[in-house]
C-alpha cells in the first residue's frame, strides 16, 4: 500500500515537471503551485527513496543467495537423476521463499557477494531509523534489517530487531512473519523452547501456519525428542497431505523409526516417498531405505535399491557414501570377501577422503572378525588415521589402535594364576576392550560366559551376567533374551549393585518389570521410589517400602526404606510421633552409618544432615493418587497433570563443582539480577550432567542458553546420589548474578 502511494506521488511530481517545461501560459503561477507541492512531498520522497534502495539491495542479495543455493544443490544430492535420461535444469530445483513457499529448516551463511549486499541494505535501512524516525517506514526498515541479519546467519541480532518491531509497532503488518523468523532464528541458536513457542503462535496463520507446523516438528527432531517429533510430523501430514514438505516429513519419520529400531515402520514410511519428491529428499530416502532393509535382513532388496541409486548418481561424495553402505550390506550378509573388495575399492577411488578413512576403519574391523588378524587390523586403523586425520572415523581408528596394544599387553602380560581375583579382573578388562573399544561383542560374550561358568561363586559372576544381558540388549537387540537375563539378576543377585541397574532396565522398558514374575527386594524398592519421587503417590509408595522392611529385613535397602516410610508419615500423613519411632529405631540399629546420622538429624540430635543423604527426597504436596495398586498390576499410569509447570522431581544434591553462569556481555542491561531459573538435569553414574532443560524461561533466550550451558558443566559427587537414581532427572536451580563490570 505504502509503495503504491508513494510511487503515485512521485509520478505526479514527474508529470508536473514535464508540464512546466512545456507550458508558457501563467508559468509563474504553475511554478508556485509546483514548488509548494514538491516541498510537501520532498520529505516523503527522500525517506522513501532511502528505503527503496534498502529494499533493492535486499532483493539483489536474495537473488545472489538463491543462485548459490541452486548451484550447491546441483553439486550435492540433486545430482541423483530419477532416470538415466533425465537432466535437471535450474528451474526444476526446489526453490525457497518467497517464490514457492518451500522453506528450508537449515540455513547456511550467504555467499560473500550476497553478504555485501545485505550489509548495504542494513546501512540504508538504518539511515531511515536514524534520520527519519517518525516516517511510516520505520517498521519496514526494522523488519528488513532483521531479515538481513537472519540471512547472514547473525541470529541473535535478527532476534533483537524482531523484538524491537514487536515492542514499538504492535500493529505492524510484519509481525506474523517476524514471529516466524524469530522462531527459526531461536532454533538455529539452540533456544528450542523459545522457538517452539513462536511457531505455536503462528500455527493458525493462513500464510505461515503450514511452515510453522513443520518447524514445530523440526524443533523436536533437532533435540532428538523423537516421540514429540513423530507426533508433529504425523499431524503435519494429516493436515497438509498435499504440501511440498510432506515428502520431507516422511523422510524425517523414516529416520526417527530407523533410529529407534522400528525398522518395519521405517520401511513402510520411506516407501511412500516417490521420485516426485525433491531430488535431494528422494536420494536420502532411497539411501535410508537401503539401510533399513539391511537391518531387516532383506539383503537382496537392499542391494537392488543401492545399486540403482549408484547407477543414477554422479557426485563423487555421494557415490562413495552409497558404496560404503553396500560394503556394510555384504558384511552383514556374511559375504566378507565382497565387503572387503568394496571397501578396498573405495580406498583406491577416493583417496585422502573421509570415505576412504571409513573404509580403512571397516577393513580393520573385518580383519578382526574374519581371521582375527590383529596386526593387519592395526595396519588398517593406522591408514584410517592418515587418510583423514580430523574425521570422526580417524579418532575411532586411533582408539582402536590403542585398544589393540592394550589387549596385547593384557593377553601376554604375566599374571599370577593363583590370584583368582586378579585373574578375573584381567578377564573383565579383556571383555571391556572387546566390547567397547573393538566393537567385538561376540568375543566379549565368550569371556563373560567363561567367567560365569568357571567362577560361579565369585562376587563378579553377577557382573558377568549383567555384561551378557547388556550385550543381548544393545549389541544383539534380543530384547526377550535380555528380559530373562535381567530378571535372573534380580532373582539371584538381589544383594549386589547389579540388581538396581537391572531394575532400571525394566523401568526403562515400561511395563516389563511388572510383567516379569521376579519379585525381589530391588523390585519393591524401585517401585516404591517411582511412586514417591516420580508420581508423588505416598500411599502406593508406603505399601512397597513396607514390603522391603518386612519381607527383607536384612537387605541393604531396608534402612533406606525405613527412612522413606518415616518421611511419608511425617510430611504427608502428619504422624510425627510414629515417624520419630522409626527414626529412633534407625539411629539405634544402624549406628555409625549415614542412615543413623540422617535419623539423628530428623530427631534434632545432629545439627546438619549427612552430605550423602541431604536433600535426597523432595518435600512437596502430594498429587492426586489413585487406589493403591495390587501387586499383580501390570501397568502404572502417571498421575493427571497439575497446573504446576514444575515437574515433581527430586532436587539435585549440592554440586561438587558448580559451573557459574557466564553472563553474556551483550545482555548487561537486562534487568534479571537475582532471578532464579529452574532446570531439570540428567545426572549419570559419574556425576556428570548428560542433559539439561529449562523449566521456565528468564524472558531472555541468550541468558537461558547460558544457564543451560552452566548446568551442563556442573559436576556432582556420585556418592551423594542414590545408586537407583543414576541416569534420572533432578531439579536444579541457577541464580542469575550479573558480575561486576571491569572498566
CB 281 within 8 A of CB 251: yes
What residue numbers bound the domain in which 671 lies? Answer: 665-735
* Last-in-domain residue among 389, 413, 437: 413
- Nearest CA among 714, 669, 694 for reference residue 190: 694
Q: How far apart are CA 722 and CA 526, in angstroms?
A: 11
Q: Is the same domain home to 637 and 525?
A: yes
Q: Which of 413, 434, 466 is the last residue of a domain?
A: 413
Q: What residue has cell string 532383506?
A: 298
Query: With 0-12 CB in 10 A as exposed, 13-18 as middle and 19+ as buried, what is 25?
Result: exposed
190 assigned to some structural domain: yes
Shared domain check, 24 and 7: yes
In degrees and rounded to multiples of 5, residue 629 shows phi and psi of -70, 145
Would you say residue 100 lies in a domain?
no
**Share of residues in the chain with pLDDT > 90 (%):** 31
Least confident of 26-35, 181-190, 465-474, 545-554: 26-35
Quick check: is 30 in a domain? Answer: yes
CATH number, position 177 = 1.25.40.10
Given this model, what pLDDT does residue 617 score? 37
Indicate if 616 and 715 belong to the same structural domain. no
For residues 527 and 596, state if they share a domain.
yes
Q: For the sheet containing 676-683, what is the strand order? A: 689-694, 676-683, 728-735
Write the pLDDT tens digit of every residue in 406-446. 777 777 766 666 778 888 888 888 888 888 877 788 888 98
Which of the pair, 442 or 100, is modelled with greater confidence?
Answer: 442
Instruction: Please indicate, yes or no, whether residues 617 and 725 belong to a single structural domain of this protein.
Output: no
Residues 622 and 532 in one domain: yes
Residues 602 and 675 in one domain: no
Residue for grid cell 545426572: 683
Report the distance separating Cα 624 and Cα 629, nearest Å.
Answer: 14
DSSP string, 668-734: TT---TTPEEEEEEEE-TTSBEEEEEESS--S-HHHHHHHHHHHHH-B--GGGS-GGGTTEEEEEEE
Q: 706 and 726 share a domain? A: yes
* Alpha carbon separation from 245 to 241, 278, 463 (Å, rounded): 9, 9, 49
In a domain, 112, yes or no: no
The verdict on residue 33 lying in a domain is yes
The torsion region of residue 109 among left (phi > 0), alpha (psi -120 to 50) and beta comes to beta
- Domain assignment present for residue 115? The answer is no
- Structural domain includes residue 141: yes
List b or e across 250-266, with b for residues whose CB sees 16 or more CB atoms inside 10 angstroms. Answer: bbbbbbbbbeeebbebb
User: In this structure, what CATH number is given to the domain that contains residue 711?
Assistant: 3.30.1150
Phi, psi of 651 (to 5 degrees): -70, 145
Q: How many domains does the chain fold into?
A: 6
Q: How many whole angstroms separate alpha carbon 234 and alpha carbon 251?
A: 12
CA separation (Å) from 221 to 278, 306, 540, 569?
20, 26, 36, 44
- Residue 672 clears pLDDT 80, i.e. is over it: no
Q: Which of 355, 385, 413 is the last residue of a domain?
A: 413
| Residue 604 confidence class, pLDDT cut points 50, 70, 90 | confident
> Is the CB of residue 714 less than 8 Å from the CB of residue 654?
no
Which pLDDT value is given to residue 184?
A: 94
279: closest CA among 303, 314, 228? 314
With respect to residue 167, please indicate whether it lies within any of the assigned structural domains.
yes
CA distances to 141, 162, 175, 688 from 130, in Å: 11, 17, 21, 50
Q: Are residues 556 and 495 in contact, defined by beta-carbon separation less than 8 angstroms?
A: yes
Residues 6 or more apart whose CB falls under 8 angstroms from that of 470 comprise none
Together in a domain, 381 and 407: yes
Say whether both 635 and 526 belong to one domain: yes
Confidence band, pLDDT 50/70/90 cuts, at residue 718? low
Per-residue confidence at 181, pLDDT binned at 50, 70, 90? very high
Contact between 652 and 692 under an 8 Å Cβ cutoff? The reply is no
Same domain, 289 and 372: no
Together in a domain, 201 and 232? yes
Percent of the chain surpassing pLDDT 70: 75
Amino acid at each position: 500500500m505504502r509503495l503504491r502511494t508513494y510511487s503515485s506521488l512521485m509520478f505526479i511530481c514527474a508529470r508536473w515537471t514535464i508540464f512546466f517545461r512545456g507550458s508558457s501560459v501563467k508559468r509563474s503561477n504553475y511554478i508556485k503551485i509546483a514548488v509548494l507541492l514538491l516541498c510537501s512531498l520532498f520529505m516523503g520522497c527522500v525517506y522513501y527513496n532511502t528505503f527503496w534502495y534498502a529494499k533493492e539491495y535486499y532483493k539483489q542479495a536474495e537473488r545472489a543467495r538463491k543462485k548459490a543455493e541452486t548451484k550447491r544443490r546441483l553439486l550435492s544430492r540433486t545430482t541423483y537423476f530419477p532416470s538415466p535420461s533425465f537432466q535437471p535444469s535450474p528451474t526444476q530445483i526446489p526453490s525457497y521463499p518467497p517464490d514457492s513457499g518451500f522453506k528450508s529448516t537449515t540455513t547456511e551463511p550467504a555467499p560473500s557477494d550476497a553478504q555485501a549486499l545485505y550489509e548495504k541494505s542494513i546501512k540504508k535501512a538504518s539511515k531511515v531509523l536514524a534520520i527519519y524516525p517518525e516516517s511510516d517506514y520505520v517498521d519496514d526498515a526494522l523488519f528488513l534489517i532483521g531479515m538481513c541479519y537472519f540471512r547472514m546467519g547473525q541470529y541473535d541480532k535478527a532476534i533483537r530487531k524482531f523484538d524491537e518491531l514487536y515492542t514499538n509497532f504492535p500493529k505492524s503488518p510484519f509481525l506474523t512473519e517476524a514471529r516466524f523468523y524469530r522462531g527459526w532464528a531461536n532454533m538455529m541458536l539452540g533456544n528450542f523452547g523459545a522457538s517452539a513457542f513462536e511457531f505455536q503462535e503462528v500455527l493458525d496463520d493462513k500464510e505461515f501456519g503450514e511452515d510453522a507446523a513443520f518447524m514445530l516438528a523440526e524443533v523436536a527432531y533437532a533435540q532428538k525428542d523423537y516421540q514429540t517429533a513423530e507426533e508433529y510430523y504425523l499431524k503435519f501430514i494429516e493436515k497438509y497431505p498435499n504440501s511440498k514438505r510432506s515428502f520431507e516429513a516422511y523422510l524425517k519419520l523414516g529416520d526417527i523409526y530407523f533410529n529407534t529400531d522400528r525398522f518395519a515402520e521405517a520401511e513402510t514410511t520411506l516407501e511412500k516417498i516417490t521420485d516426485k519428491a525433491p531430488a535431494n529428499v528422494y536420494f536420502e530416502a532411497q539411501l535410508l531405505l537401503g539401510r533399513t532393509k539391511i537391518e531387516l535382513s532383506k539383503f537382496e532388496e537392499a542391494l537392488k535399491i543401492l545399486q540403482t541409486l549408484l547407477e543414477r548418481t554422479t557426485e563423487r561424495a555421494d557415490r562413495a557414501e552409497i558404496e560404503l553402505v553396500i560394503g556394510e550390506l555384504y558384511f552383514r550378509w556374511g559375504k566378507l570377501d565382497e565387503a572387503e573388495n568394496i571397501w578396498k575399492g573405495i580406498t583406491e577411488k577416493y583417496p585422502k577422503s573421509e570415505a576412504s578413512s571409513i573404509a580403512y576403519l571397516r577393513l580393520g574391523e573385518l580383519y578382526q572378525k574374519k581371521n582375527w588378524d590383529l596386526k593387519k587390523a592395526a595396519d588398517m586403523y593406522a591408514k584410517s588415521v592418515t587418510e583423514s586425520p580430523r574425521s570422526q572415523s580417524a579418532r575411532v581408528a586411533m582408539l582402536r589402535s590403542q585398544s589393540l596394544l592394550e589387549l596385547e599387553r593384557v593377553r601376554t602380560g604375566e599374571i599370577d594364576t593363583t590370584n583368582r581375583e586378579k585373574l578375573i579382573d584381567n578377564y573383565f578388562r579383556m571383555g571391556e576392550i572387546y566390547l567397547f573399544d573393538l566393537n567385538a561383542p561376540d568375543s566379549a560374550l565368550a569371556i563373560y560366559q567363561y567367567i560365569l561358568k568357571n567362577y560361579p561363586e565369585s562376587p563378579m559372576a553377577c557382573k558377568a551376567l549383567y555384561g551378557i544381558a547388556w550385550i543381548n540388549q544393545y549389541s544383539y537387540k534380543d530384547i526377550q533374551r535380555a528380559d530373562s537375563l535381567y530378571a535372573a539378576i534380580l532373582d539371584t543377585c538381589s544383594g549386589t549393585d547389579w540388581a538396581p541397574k537391572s531394575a532400571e532396565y525394566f523401568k526403562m522398558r515400561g511395563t516389563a518389570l511388572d510383567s516379569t514374575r521376579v519379585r525381589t527386594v530391588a523390585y519393591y524398592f524401585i517401585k516404591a521410589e517411582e511412586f514417591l519421587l516420580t508420581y508423588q503417590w505416598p500411599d502406593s509408595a508406603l505399601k512397597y517400602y513396607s514390603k522391603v522392611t518386612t519381607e527383607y529385613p536384612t537387605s541393604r535397602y531396608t534402612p533406606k526404606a525405613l527412612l522413606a516410610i518415616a518421611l511419608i508419615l511425617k510430611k504427608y500423613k502428619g504422624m510425627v510421633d510414629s515417624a520419630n519411632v522409626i527414626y529412633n529405631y534407625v539411629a539405634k540399629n544402624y549406628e555409625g552409618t549415614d542412615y543413623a546420622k540422617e535419623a539423628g538429624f530428623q530427631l534434632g540430635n545432629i545439627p546438619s544432615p549427612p552430605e550423602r543423604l541431604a536433600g535426597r527426597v523432595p518435600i512437596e504436596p502430594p498429587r492426586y493418587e489413585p487406589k493403591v495398586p495390587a501387586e499383580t498390576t501390570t501397568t502404572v499410569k502417571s498421575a493427571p497433570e497439575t497446573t504446576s509447570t514444575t515437574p515433581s522431581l527430586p532436587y539435585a544434591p549440592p554440586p561438587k563443582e558448580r559451573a557459574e553462569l557466564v553472563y553474556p556481555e551483550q545482555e548487561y542491561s537486562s534487568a534479571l539480577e537475582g532471578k532464579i531459573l529452574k532446570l531439570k538435569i540428567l545426572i549419570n553414574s559419574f556425576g556428570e550432567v548428560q542433559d539439561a532443560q529449562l523449566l521456565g524461561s528468564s524472558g531472555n533466550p541468550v541468558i537461558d542458553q547460558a544457564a543451560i550451558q552452566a548446568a551442563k558443566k556442573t559436576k556432582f559427587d556420585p556418592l551423594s546420589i542414590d545408586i537407583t537414581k543414576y541416569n534420572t532427572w533432578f531439579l536444579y536451580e541457577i541464580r542469575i548474578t550479573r558480575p561486576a563490570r571491569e572498566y
